[in-house]
Structure 1
Amino acid sequence: MLNVQTNVTWSDTQESAVLQACSRIAPTWPLDKSIAVNPWWNFKDNSYVETAEKLHRLAGVRGYMGAEKYIHALASGAIDKDCVKQAIVSTEFEGSFEDWQACLSQPEPARIQPLFSAHVDAVRDRHYMKWEEEITHQISQFCAAHFQSLRAMLKKPKVEQKMSLYQHWLEVTRVDYGLSIVLSAPNVRQYLELLPTDAEEALGMMVSELEISDDALEDFALACLYDIHGWASWVAYRQWHEQHPTGDTSHASFVQPNELKELLTIRLAWEWIVFKYMQRHEALMFDDCLARWQEQSELSMSDLAVHKRYFQALEVGALALEFSYQQHLATTLSKSEPVETGEEKKQLQAVFCIDVRSEAMRRALEQQGKGIETFGFAGFFGMPISYRPLGSNLSRPQLPGLLSPAVNVSESLSNQQLNSRKKKLNWKARVKTWSSAAASSFSMVESLGISYGLKLLKGKTQPNKLNDLSKVSQWRLYQGENDVPLDAQTDIAYGALKGIGIYSFAPTVLLVGHESQNQNNLHAASLDCGACCGQSGAINTQVLCQILNNTEVRSQLAQRGLSIPADTQFIPAIHNTTTDQISAAEQCSTNLQETLERASLLCRKLRFAAQQPDQIQNEGLESDKAIKRTLEKRATRWSEQRPERGLADNAAFVIAPRAKTEHLDFGGRAFMHGYEKDSDPDNSILELLMTAPMVVAHWINMQYNLSVCEPFKFGSGNKLLHNAVGGGIGVFEGNGGDLRIGLSRQSVHDGSKWLHTPQRLSVVIAAEQKDIESVLNKHPDLQNLVSNHWLHILQWQDSGSLLRFNGDTWLQVAGQ
């Protein structure tokens, strides 16, 4: 007879350990609002090397390139030997340069295996389904159905109370008769019947019967969550979204308290089931697995020391690579030309997103004449908005994912246009419902197949996905039912102009948002503007231009010391990052259109020369038309796996006057934001830049880094195998496994080599040391990022020198 412990006390210590493990999981955003995330953001209170070592030891994930990559980088010259010696001094690695090389030449040290099911799989008959694989598959399929339908799959009549995630899983799994067959484990379902229906009671019982000590519980819980890390990240997003409303209603649903804890309970329940099943039905194998599990539940002191030393050596390699890049950066910055005074009045100004893809376009536009000036600013242009299409109840955020919108915007349409819009939206909703239902989907294809063929052809020729918005002449800004007052609009305009750092105005000022253009791509949002929550920046530029062109707003701005000349016109523009085509609104002059066309042509040349020099020769792309045609094909080809490189190989964030950087080529690897320290006496702008865009750039950098270092847990795998999950929650690679998050392989690999070199962000700031330190001291999160080696802070001095901050002192970057 099967018995389980009852009335087990769940202590405050155990609760704290479990909640601490849950708090380490960073959220992941849905596909249609995909933004870059640092998956290790919630470990920032620990050093990078400690985090990488711990998660490799517990979950087998990697936060560094392989040791051989650093050895190869040293041999190829990408790592300077002196930088290795500097890195050794900067870490806890004990030994010489030769000791470091010897350490990396050793095999990767063994990790522990906290999960009992993994030990069973290691000795079980290889012809049987692995427990871990089926556990992940079962939980993943359940979560996909649960979060997609948002109601119990086995809905019973007259049941009004919502079931918790754990209770729903238990009800569904108890009647899954296929589990015993798939797992070759007869009667496994009887163990599900023994599980308590209350999640906390179940946790207490399972932890007690598995004899998980209080000291080991947090690590054990973390290992369980990392085994289903994709779904854990999604649940973390749901909980984050509940606490920080963004105006996004497309994935809105009831979020129960401690949902992540309940997901952990589900994963732990499977560990308990495997344990009890093997104990009863496979006694000899159970004893062997139990001995292995208890032996490997914790590394010996000597094994732990070897493991830590190896990771300290990897940290030396990573720092040496970053220090070597900073030497190259210092050389580039030393070529900065003196700022000219008394130059001619600017005739054209253009404000771009700080995105690394804007760097080449900014240089190309500036080269069209001395009267042209560009600025870098966060791509949402300081607009705290959520876009709600008129005629729809749905809205989407148009600002960074960590912020909540304060203002809604909608098109101002006539009643006739509004009725037409509603009819179109209703028709689309009906067709979608028709095509999604199992019974009617085939008849839908039979009826509308030809019209869908025309729709596919339209996708081959339509140049922009937001073409309909180019016809919007007026936008409504509102909060609730009330329009945003003039004073509040002036506040938005003032904040944007101060953040941009623009104080004198040319006759024409372009606000340039950016968007990608691609077909048949589940990860399309990851190529759009991250500062706009994975959307095009077109709406933000149009709304801000409307505000800045308002004479009443300008009058109030003048009272605050920002005078905009009457002949200055703000014009929205868009940078298509796939084709490197920049285009402005229809009201711009012919001369401006020609200037933008020449800049686009030059930018495409610069891009190909830097990223794909071999393709120019191999495919005969010497002519401008051939290059443009190639890029346009990528934008419209249904089967295109790599429409563009996105932000691959990003490495630096430069916060400095544009006049000091406009002649410099950062190779498309730098985020760039303008900053004039003399115009910021109270450091308010510097503080804003270091707490907002710098953190966003760090998230982008870390997502690319970890998608390369650990593509299985932090990358979404092969695009060719992707299937959308839950209406846009994420993707499966194939038909099962964990929810895949992060960047696809095609985003970071060209089929023969990696497109991104994992290295932590180097942030270059042209400001006084005391001012930089003042901002760091005010924000513990920033202090952690610097002192724990999550990113580098460097000061660009007026003399041209580059100094690196190590948390206590400023050190000269070698090689200058």
Structure 2
Amino acid sequence: MGVASAVMKEDFKKKTRSIHLEIREISVLVESASQVIAPLWPISSFAARNPWLGLEKLSFDQVAGGLKHNHDVDIYPSASMILSAKKKGEIDEANVGVELQRWLDSQSLSIPRDVAERFCQAALKLEALPSELLSSREVEKLVGEVGGLNTEGVETCSMQPISSQIENQDREKLVHLLDHHMIKWCKLYLDNSQAGWTMPNREEGFYRAWQRLVRYDPALTKVQRDSLKDWPQEPQKALERALVRLEISESDIQSYLEGHLLSLPGWAGMMLYRSRQNSHEHALLTEYLAVRLSLEWALVKPYLPLTNQPAEKKVSMTSLLAAWIQWGELTLEEWSQLSATEQNEYLLFAYKFDKKLCRKLWLEAWEQTYTERLSQKLLSKQQEINYKKSSLAQFAFCIDVRSEPFRRQLEKQGPIETIGIAGFFGLPIATSELASNHSHASLPVILKPQHKIKESADDKELQSYQQRKQAVNSLSYTFKTMKQNVLPSLLLPELSGPWLSLQMVARSFVPKSANRLIRNVRETWLRKPNTKLTLNHTNRTKAEVPVGFSEKEKVNYARQALKMMGLTENIAPLVVICGHGSSSINNPYASALDCGACGGAAGGFNARVLAALCNLPEVRKELAAEGIDIPKDTVFAAAEHNTTVDELGWLYVPELSEAAQEAFDYIEAIMPKVSQKANEERLAQLPNFQSQLKNPQAEAHRFAEDWSEVRPEWGLARNAAFIIGPRELTQDCDLEGRAFLHNYDWKQDKSGELLANIIAGPGTVTQWINLQYYASTVAPHYYGSGNKATQTVTSGLGVMQGNASDLLTGLPWQSVMQSDHEAYHSPLRLLIVIQAPSKYIERLLKNDSAFREKVQNGWVRLASMNPQGHWKNWY
């Protein structure tokens, strides 16, 4: 025993000497490990996120395999989802056969092709193996005669936290206890003014604040606290010491850190987000890992060194043999007659053609079925494209899938043309509303604001409005302060009880009337005056984002937007720049129903800014000199499409010309019918809505204003395609609200720059939205956020299930599921369709290596239509 102990001590000394990392090396390792998680935005500025953002250098299937093997997370649709889609006619079974043949062709088969094919076709029925077969004594006997299966090169594994390998006396894995501690500390540090008492010394950083408090943590034993008493002051040194004490070899460090980040990807993702937002928190993820591994050391120290190494996951030989008997129609006698080599080859084939691969082939067939049906719709329109079309009015909508049905209904009512463009309209701005000291970014989260635009009003009106707004804010602040302090909180129920009780009863039984009354009282009291926008550049220090635009920038942004919309000729008398937003009550995910790309910012403010720029005489004069001649009687206005109730609200209507006034009056006349038809189509998709019994518009408002409604609208569920081409290509096509639509005319894009910008910007954003919905559907327990009814808003940042879960990263169950057992969202990877000659696509793929990587590795699918109407799938 003494010799063994001496040997272990010597080994420990060697490992201690082998791990001596510089701060730079620690930072590099943490940065590399962080690729397995994605930044998580606060829920108040919810932005769709690709949970596999840092893993796109790997194929989708490789990531799926790694997540399943190391974390038991499936990212292919479940068998029940696939069979449901098949039953609804969403999957052409012929495509399953095509995908199977393609896979078989890619394999070096060691067994007869017909035997392999028969096995695969039976396995693809996705039926479970009979339990009596799996427990059969005859099968067990034959399995005992087979040697181990050689799976070298088929599967890899990564290093898991040591705490996941140890159970305490209560049979609880220490990694779960470690997670519980980390959730507590993360909530304390990241709290966004929700807690009454803030974490002491938070300004010194996460690690230093934790180190000062952990020695008093009653949730740790005295021995555990003592083990951290002399811990390093710097997070990098603490992380290094923890790795040494845990005896992690230098070659395993990155994999080990990855395992810890994936244990709580939500809280880790929020730390990653914060580290990229604030320069003083740039090392926050390192601090997070330093705290986590330091705590792990304190928890696992009594159990070290581990005497029993974790066993490798064993292949179930019984299930492989049972699969051949059930699906390969192989009898026990036929199996016994095979040689040992043949038996190994048969088992290895069954091992490769597993449940994951079956579901992969079904997914690809599902995607191909959608592609074929979409291509049929678009190809039928190919010959009808007419680029020269006179319109009474032109509407520029966001590419959001919810705009598609509304646009279709609007166009049916008369000579109105609609245009698709990214909903921030190419304006990289932060907005500051009237009487506000704060601004918020109003552009996709992948970009940074370059300008700040403020609302202004006459001094007298502004002063009066500020006073009224300050009174409302003071009342809100007082109420919150009283709630969070011991003595005032005892008095608060007596003061607020009658009013809050009345409000609760009213909102429960007459929600629409109650909310209208509350809203009217608030608006009447505030009486926001008419405002102007600070479009002109004002000098600021270099550290600040400049307010307004220079004269050159005004022209540049107007030109860029008009070109992206294809609006350089045949401009109508009235052009409406139309943003979009949503409205709902008591909904933590309200911002998720605004723009999916812009961190919960609605698009109305940007629409107003662009419309104002395009109305400026000096801007029009410069554009005319460049060949973009805006007619004198053309007026730009701004509006916002409320996606929850499918109504249009005007935000900015300047003095109209006679022709523009005629167009405006016409739009006002048809808009009730447009809203009615759009609501009929949209609400029919919501569960339990009976259109023949209920008024669609009244129901839409009830969904928006009922505080018990968990599903005010479907959001971007069922999104599946991003179509880049002229509106004539998709006009009159019922795309079922599943397609992002961006205008594009390849004839006006000789250099390919417009297409490259669309792919780099909106293309990235639509992919993130698509994968957010995909992940929340196929793995809701890991990438979703569970049932809305049981969520807890925590730290002003996001939601948890209960009071000690991971910070949930994705969409709630009600955003993607029709019922407890039926998915509404179809988890298909985004199909990008470009209407352009093949040489444009080739140039795009050659010049944009990141996009080429996404296509080749299966993160998006790509198809194109050339001018002759030929459809091509790429890769």
The interval holding the TM-score normalised by the smaller chain is 0.7 to 0.9
- 8 Å CA contact 2:66–2:157 kept in 1: the answer is no
Mapped partners of 2:95, 2:711: distance in 1: 35
- 8 Å CA contact 2:686–2:713 kept in 1: the answer is no
Query: Which residue, out of 67, 73, 76, partners 1:61?
Result: 73
The Cα of 1:804 is off from its aligned counterpart by 0.5
Name the counterpart of 1:502. 567
The Cα of 1:344 is off from its aligned counterpart by 6.2
Structure 1 residues 317 and 216 mapped into 2: Cα distance closer, same or farther (>3 Å)?
A: farther
The Cα of 1:716 is off from its aligned counterpart by 1.7
Q: Which shifted more, 95-104 or 222-231?
A: 95-104
Name the counterpart of 1:378. 422
The Cα of 1:674 is off from its aligned counterpart by 1.2
- 8 Å CA contact 1:34–1:533 kept in 2: the answer is yes
Amino acid corresponding to residue 59 of structure 1 in structure 2: H
The Cα of 1:565 is off from its aligned counterpart by 1.0
The Cα of 1:460 is off from its aligned counterpart by 4.0
Structure 1 residues 189 and 383 mapped into 2: Cα distance closer, same or farther (>3 Å)?
A: same
Mapped partners of 1:133, 1:165: distance in 2: 21
Mapped partners of 1:469, 1:540: distance in 2: 22
Once the two structures are superposed, residues 655-678 of structure 1 have per-residue CA deviations (whole angstroms, 9 ceiling, x without a partner) of 111112102111111111111111
The Cα of 1:97 is off from its aligned counterpart by 7.2
- 8 Å CA contact 2:579–2:639 kept in 1: the answer is yes
Name the counterpart of 1:271. 296
Mapped partners of 2:745, 2:454: distance in 1: 35
Residue 724 of structure 1: SS of its match in structure 2? strand
Could you list the runs of 5+ residues in structure 2 that have no partner in the other structure? 108-115, 135-154, 318-343, 508-512, 541-546, 654-660
Name the counterpart of 2:689. 615
The Cα of 1:540 is off from its aligned counterpart by 1.1
Amino acid corresponding to residue 117 of structure 1 in structure 2: S
Q: Which shifted more, 762-771 or 325-334?
A: 325-334
The Cα of 1:413 is off from its aligned counterpart by 0.6
Structure 1 residues 790 and 198 mapped into 2: Cα distance closer, same or farther (>3 Å)?
A: same
In the alignment, structure 1 residue 583 sits paired with structure 2 residue 656: no
- 1:356-375 equivalences under 5 Å are 356-369=401-414, 371-375=415-419
Residue 310 of structure 2: SS of its match in structure 1? helix
The Cα of 1:337 is off from its aligned counterpart by 5.9
- 8 Å CA contact 1:110–1:307 kept in 2: the answer is no
- 1:143-292 equivalences under 5 Å are 143-148=186-191, 155=200, 162-180=203-221, 187-193=223-229, 195-242=231-278, 254-255=280-281, 257-279=282-304, 290-292=307-309
Query: Which residue, out of 12, 32, 35, partners 1:23?
Result: 35
Query: Which residue, out of 711, 719, 736, partners 1:642?
Result: 711
Mapped partners of 1:18, 1:313: distance in 2: 35
Residue 715 of structure 2: SS of its match in structure 1? coil
Amino acid corresponding to residue 615 of structure 1 in structure 2: F
Amino acid corresponding to residue 398 of structure 1 in structure 2: S
Mapped partners of 1:136, 1:174: distance in 2: 18
- 1:142-541 equivalences under 5 Å are 142-148=185-191, 155=200, 162-180=203-221, 187-193=223-229, 195-242=231-278, 254-255=280-281, 257-279=282-304, 290-293=307-310, 295=312, 306=351, 311-336=356-381, 338-339=383-384, 345-369=390-414, 371-437=415-481, 438-439=484-485, 440-444=488-492, 446-448=494-496, 459-461=515-517, 472-477=530-535, 478=537, 481=540, 483-503=548-568, 504-541=570-607
Name the counterpart of 1:10. 20
Could you list the runs of 5+ residues in structure 1 that have no partner in the other structure? 181-185, 244-253, 280-285, 807-816
Give the structure-1-normalised TM-score.
0.86
In the alignment, structure 1 residue 595 sits paired with structure 2 residue 670: yes
Name the counterpart of 2:680. 605
Query: Which residue, out of 120, 134, 141, partners 1:99?
Result: 120
Mapped partners of 1:760, 1:637: distance in 2: 33
Mapped partners of 1:397, 1:345: distance in 2: 36
Residue 58 of structure 2: SS of its match in structure 1? coil
Name the counterpart of 1:246. none
- 1:695-710 equivalences under 5 Å are 695-710=764-779
The Cα of 1:229 is off from its aligned counterpart by 0.8
- 8 Å CA contact 1:584–1:593 kept in 2: the answer is no
Mapped partners of 2:675, 2:528: distance in 1: 20
The Cα of 1:124 is off from its aligned counterpart by 4.6
Amino acid corresponding to residue 288 of structure 2 in structure 1: L
The Cα of 1:701 is off from its aligned counterpart by 0.1
CA RMSD of aligned residues (A): 3.6
- 8 Å CA contact 1:378–1:531 kept in 2: the answer is no
Structure 1 residues 608 and 638 mapped into 2: Cα distance closer, same or farther (>3 Å)?
A: closer
Amino acid corresponding to residue 146 of structure 1 in structure 2: Y
Higher CA-based Rg? 2
The Cα of 1:102 is off from its aligned counterpart by 2.4
Structure 1 residues 341 and 788 mapped into 2: Cα distance closer, same or farther (>3 Å)?
A: closer
- 1:788-803 equivalences under 5 Å are 788-803=857-872
- 8 Å CA contact 1:547–1:553 kept in 2: the answer is yes
Mapped partners of 1:194, 1:106: distance in 2: 55
Structure 1 residues 91 and 270 mapped into 2: Cα distance closer, same or farther (>3 Å)?
A: farther
Mapped partners of 1:603, 1:325: distance in 2: 23
- 8 Å CA contact 2:604–2:651 kept in 1: the answer is no
- 1:680-759 equivalences under 5 Å are 680-727=749-796, 729-752=797-820, 753-759=822-828
The Cα of 1:417 is off from its aligned counterpart by 2.4
In the alignment, structure 1 residue 550 sits paired with structure 2 residue 616: yes
Name the counterpart of 1:569. 635
Residue 232 of structure 2: SS of its match in structure 1? coil
Q: Percent identity?
A: 29
The Cα of 1:275 is off from its aligned counterpart by 2.3
Mapped partners of 2:686, 2:587: distance in 1: 22
Once the two structures are superposed, residues 267-318 of structure 1 have per-residue CA deviations (whole angstroms, 9 ceiling, x without a partner) of 2233323321234xxxxxx85xx52426569999999994796544433222
Mapped partners of 1:469, 1:56: distance in 2: 56
Amino acid corresponding to residue 416 of structure 2 in structure 1: I
Structure 1 residues 74 and 361 mapped into 2: Cα distance closer, same or farther (>3 Å)?
A: closer
Give the structure-2-normalised TM-score.
0.80
- 8 Å CA contact 1:361–1:600 kept in 2: the answer is yes
Residue 755 of structure 1: SS of its match in structure 2? coil
Mapped partners of 2:86, 2:390: distance in 1: 48
Name the counterpart of 2:96. 84
Name the counterpart of 1:138. 181
Once the two structures are superposed, residues 64-115 of structure 1 have per-residue CA deviations (whole angstroms, 9 ceiling, x without a partner) of 1124543564566433333224434666974647426527657899988823
Mapped partners of 1:299, 1:113: distance in 2: 22
Mapped partners of 2:454, 2:314: distance in 1: 57
Structure 1 residues 474 and 89 mapped into 2: Cα distance closer, same or farther (>3 Å)?
A: farther
- 8 Å CA contact 1:711–1:745 kept in 2: the answer is yes
Amino acid corresponding to residue 401 of structure 1 in structure 2: V
The Cα of 1:613 is off from its aligned counterpart by 8.8
Mapped partners of 1:479, 1:9: distance in 2: 54
Name the counterpart of 1:282. none
Mapped partners of 1:97, 1:778: distance in 2: 44
Amino acid corresponding to residue 224 of structure 2 in structure 1: V
Q: Which shifted more, 356-365 or 5-14?
A: 5-14
Q: Which shifted more, 663-672 or 14-23?
A: 14-23
Matched positions, count:
767
The Cα of 1:750 is off from its aligned counterpart by 3.0
- 8 Å CA contact 1:704–1:743 kept in 2: the answer is yes
Query: Which residue, out of 105, 110, 120, partners 2:166?
Result: 120
The Cα of 1:630 is off from its aligned counterpart by 0.9
Q: Which shifted more, 701-710 or 323-332?
A: 323-332
Query: Which residue, out of 678, 696, 714, partners 1:627?
Result: 696
The Cα of 1:730 is off from its aligned counterpart by 1.2
Residue 511 of structure 1: SS of its match in structure 2? strand
